Amino acid sequence: MALEITDANFQEVVLDSDKPVLVDFWATWCGPCRTISPIIDELATELEGKAVVGKVNVDDNSEIPQNYGIRNIPTLLVFKNGELVDKMVGVVPKSQMIEKLEAQM
């Protein structure tokens, strides 16, 4: 299961992580977000110990999406050592998500 990332824990979970981090920006009303949600949860399980996988609900957390210019959801951001290193917008295949994360491992 993917971690719940909030405005309050973003620094600790994402920016201070010693592992690559995949952050899914989503909302409950977003159909494409619901499509990739099970994939995000699968990745969290499959990559446990190698990468951090989490979700930010944009309706409940406005600071992070604003800071990173999130205009469309789903948007997936990849961080390494506290830096944004990659971005995917829309429904992307699981293989592409894995490829982007593994490039940072």
Range 45-82 burial, b when 16+ CB lie within 10 A, else e = eebeeebbbbbbbbeebeebbeebebeebbbbbbbbee
Kindly name the residue from 3, 6, 17, 30 that is annotated as catalytic. 30
Write down the residue that tokens 């499959």 correspond to. 46
**93: buried, middle or exposed (CB in 10 Å: 19+, 13-18, 0-12)?**
exposed
Active site residue 33: yes
Active site residue 98: no
Kindly name the residue from 2, 14, 21, 33 that is annotated as catalytic. 33
- Please identify every residue annotated as catalytic: 30, 33
